[in-house]
DNA sequence: CTGTATCCTTAGCGATACTG
DNA sequence: CAGTATCGCTAAGGATACAG
């Protein structure tokens, strides 16, 4: 034998590897707006305008793109209500809801350590 | 009084607000390489070349920038050993080590749900 | 109201060559 | 070895106007 514990791809190369599926998912979440959008849906469905207001600074174009991408990856559903004026609601899927927990951890940690960060020149 | 529980900035606007300090930190972490670099240092100090190999696909320019930014924010230390050939080691600060936990959560969740993601058109 | 279309700027990234 | 310099490309983002 090698005497070395073999690198376990499911624990080590899950995210570093260029071709590992986890890496693609990581890169989806790791985005200026994606995580914020998912978190904004934590308390239930939200309309386009609500999200737009909550994610301060997002432009409609970018918000649309962000939501579409989340939809494409199965994290969010988009429901159009046949009314006038139009009403569109975005909601988390089970998968999307699952993402809430790790995201909350991150947020909690940030909140707890905000003061310790260097302002960065 | 208003009768409404006031929005608590430390729990709601910690990250959505354009000017909230948490938002800036979030945007630091939320980057293609930042999280990967921090995670790569979890088992101890690493040299530039080691990191470069571990973060598959990163160019030296980008790796330098990533590490500098982490250093500027107080997550990583950079130690130059006066030897020849030069040896530079990067290591996590206490703050950086603290980031490991939320990052691990994210990684665990990704690993557990990889199969559930839609391939995205 | 919910987007799309357009335009434009910047940042990020990748590749590669080269230096102390 | 550990970067820096350079070049070019693309994606991401921001602003705003406009359409169904």
pLDDT at B121: 58
Sequential DSSP letters for B96-117: HHHHHHHHHHHHHHHHHHGGGS
Nucleotide nearest A86, CA–C1', reads C1
The Cα–Cα gap between B66 and B87 comes to 18
pLDDT at A19: 86
pLDDT at B28: 92
Does residue B45 belong to the interface with chain A, where contact is any CB pair within 8 Å?
no
The Cα–Cα gap between A98 and A120 comes to 33
With respect to residue B107, please indicate whether it lies within any of the assigned structural domains.
yes
With respect to residue B39, please indicate whether it lies within any of the assigned structural domains.
yes
pLDDT at A6: 44
The domain spanning residue A110 has which CATH number?
A: 1.10.10.10
List Cβ neighbours of B42 (8 Å cut-off, separation of 6 or more): B92, B100
pLDDT at B119: 75
- Whole-number mean pLDDT of chain B? 88
Closest chain A residue to B95, measured at CA: A116
Is the model more confident about A32 or about B6?
A32
Number of domains in chain A: 1
Residues A65, B120 contacting (CB under 8 angstroms):
no
* Token code pair at residue A60: 């409609």
pLDDT at B2: 41
With respect to residue A74, please indicate whether it lies within any of the assigned structural domains.
yes
pLDDT at A1: 44
Separation of CA B43 from chain center:
15
Residues in B 3-22 with any Cβ partner in A closer than 8 A: 10-11, 14-18, 21-22
> What confidence tens digit (pLDDT) does each residue in B45-97 have?
999 999 999 999 999 999 999 999 999 999 999 999 999 899 999 999 999 99
Q: Which residues of chain A fall below pLDDT 70?
A: 1-13, 121
With respect to residue B10, please indicate whether it lies within any of the assigned structural domains.
no
Is the model more confident about B19 or about A68?
A68
pTM: 0.87
Which helix (H) or strand (E) element contains residue A25?
helix A21-29
With respect to residue B14, please indicate whether it lies within any of the assigned structural domains.
no
Mutation test of the interface with chain B: which of A27, A51, A110, choosing the one with the most B Cβ atoms within 10 A?
A110
pLDDT at B118: 85
> What confidence tens digit (pLDDT) does each residue in B8-17 have?
444 446 789 9
The Cα–Cα gap between A69 and A85 comes to 25
With respect to residue A10, please indicate whether it lies within any of the assigned structural domains.
no
pLDDT at B14: 72
Structural domain that includes position A55? 21-120
A and B: number of Cβ contacts within 8 A: 132
With respect to residue B81, please indicate whether it lies within any of the assigned structural domains.
yes
Instruction: Give helix then strand counts, H and E, for chain B.
Output: 5, 3
The Cα–Cα gap between A83 and A95 comes to 28
With respect to residue B115, please indicate whether it lies within any of the assigned structural domains.
yes
Is the model more confident about B41 or about A118?
B41
């Amino acid at each position: 034998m090698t005497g070395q514990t073999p690198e376990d791809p499911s624990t080590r190369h899950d995210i570093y590897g260029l071709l590992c599926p986890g890496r693609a998912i990581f890169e989806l979440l790791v985005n200026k707006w994606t995580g914020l959008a998912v978190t904004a849906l934590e308390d239930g469905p939200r309309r386009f305008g609500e999200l737009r207001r909550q994610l301060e600074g997002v432009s409609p174009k970018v918000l649309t793109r962000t939501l579409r991408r989340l939809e494409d990856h199965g994290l969010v559903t988009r429901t159009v209500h046949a009314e006038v004026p139009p009403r569109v609601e975005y909601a988390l899927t089970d998968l999307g809801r699952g993402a809430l927990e790790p995201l909350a951890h991150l947020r909690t940690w940030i909140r707890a350590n905000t003061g310790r960060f260097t302002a960065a020149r």
